[in-house]
């Protein structure tokens, strides 16, 4: 079962084309983990709209926040993460403050290629390795990372590869190699690619899968087709709807519902359902991974009930 495979890891990375609903899928996966009795941390990176709002909670902010029993969230800001790293290395707060207030430091942080990404990945590694002070058990059983969209996401995940090769000695190179070891450890880490039934999302899913394996050495576990339009009518019902629509049938189904409008809506659904089937078959051919399909939800806005529905579907696999 795909969910069993995902929840057996300690770090699950989600990426996909922008707009495919990674945050929603990540929140649903986190809920599914909590249902299995796991302590789950959902990590976002400088997200303008945090997943906490989907759960009806206030934004989690820059510190780990418990949104509901067993489910925690954090929204990592690269600048804050870098400042935290400086304080950790320097240790003397007065000296650290002088460094952080220096214009030279700010220019260096802004200009150094890949430094922001490396610091964020380092923070995620620290969270994955965090232990309870007294029991020494892992603070979290599962970390779900809502990574940047495919183009930026690939660059983001490739940073430790470049840094480990470019910096053979010193703390930066050492940390880059530790991060890379975590990303490539198939027993601890996996990748989930999220797509929707649209042309560019499918193309980017194939591209990202190939490069994530070949250039980073990640071990993808699944591809999730989100917002799939599923069959609501039988084959006979669909044929009748199309015949009635073609004949421009008129009348009323209810006081405020015209037959023509209802037929238009039903015909649009049939078209989207067929497109979903076409793109699902194409995705199965192009990306050789187990595929999970999550339904398109008409809820607006999405909330806890929507996430519970998606978690149910992940559970059924």
pLDDT tens per residue across span 226-236? 999 998 888 89
pLDDT of residue 122: 92
| Homologous superfamily assigned to 2-316 | P-loop containing nucleotide triphosphate hydrolases (3.40.50.300)
The percentage of residues in the chain with a pLDDT greater than 70, rounded to a whole number, is 95
Q: How far apart are CA 238 and CA 195, in angstroms?
A: 27
Q: Please answer whether residues 80 and 67 qualify as being in contact, where contact means their C-beta atoms are separated by less than 8 angstroms.
A: no
Higher-confidence position of 170 and 12: 12
78-90 vs 103-111: helix axis angle to the nearest 10? Answer: 120
Could you give the C-alpha distances from 252 to 231, 242, 260, 270, in angstroms and in order?
Answer: 24, 17, 8, 21
Q: How far apart are CA 148 and CA 129, in angstroms?
A: 22
Residue 211 — pLDDT band, cuts 50, 70, 90? Answer: very high
- Six-digit token string for 192: 């989930």
pTM for this structure? Answer: 0.90
Q: Which of 67, 61, 56 is nearest to 306 (CA)?
A: 56
Give the residue-averaged pLDDT of 117-142: 90
CB-facing half-sphere around the CA of 270: CA atoms within 13 A: 18
Least confident of 122-131, 243-252, 265-274: 243-252
Q: How far apart are CA 100 and CA 115, in angstroms?
A: 15
- Six-digit token string for 102: 């220096």
Domain range summary for the chain, segments of one domain joined by +: 2-316
């Amino acid at each position: 079962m795909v969910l069993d495979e995902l929840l057996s890891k300690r770090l699950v990375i989600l990426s996909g084309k922008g707009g495919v609903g990674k945050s929603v899928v990540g929140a649903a996966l986190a809920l599914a983990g909590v249902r299995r009795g796991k302590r789950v941390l959902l990590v976002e990176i400088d997200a303008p709209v945090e997943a906490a709002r989907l759960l009806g909670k206030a934004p989690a902010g820059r510190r780990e926040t418990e949104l509901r029993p067993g489910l925690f969230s954090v929204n990592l800001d690269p600048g804050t993460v870098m400042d935290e790293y400086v304080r950790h290395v320097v240790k003397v707060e007065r000296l650290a403050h002088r460094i952080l207030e220096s214009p030279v430091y700010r220019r260096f942080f802004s200009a150094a290629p890949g430094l922001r990404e490396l610091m964020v990945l380092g923070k995620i590694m620290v969270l994955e390795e965090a232990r309870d002070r007294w029991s020494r058990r892992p603070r979290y059983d599962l970390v779900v990372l809502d990574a940047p969209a495919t183009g930026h996401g690939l660059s983001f995940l490739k940073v430790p590869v470049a840094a480990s090769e470019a910096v053979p000695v010193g703390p930066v190179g050492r940390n880059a190699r530790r991060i890379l070891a975590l990303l490539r450890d198939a027993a601890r880490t996996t990748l989930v690619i999220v797509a929707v039934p649209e042309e560019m999302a499918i193309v980017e899913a194939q591209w990202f899968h190939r490069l994530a394996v070949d250039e980073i050495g990640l071990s993808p576990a699944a591809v999730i087709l989100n917002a799939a339009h599923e069959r609501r009518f039988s084959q006979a019902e669909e044929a009748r709807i199309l015949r009635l629509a073609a004949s421009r049938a008129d009348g009323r189904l209810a006081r405020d519902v015209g037959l023509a409008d209802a037929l238009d809506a039903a015909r649009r659904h049939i078209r989207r359902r067929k497109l979903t089937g076409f793109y699902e078959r194409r995705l199965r051919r192009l990306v050789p991974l187990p595929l999970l399909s999550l339904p398109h939800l008409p809820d607006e806005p999405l909330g806890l009930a929507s996430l519970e529905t998606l978690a149910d579907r992940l559970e059924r696999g």
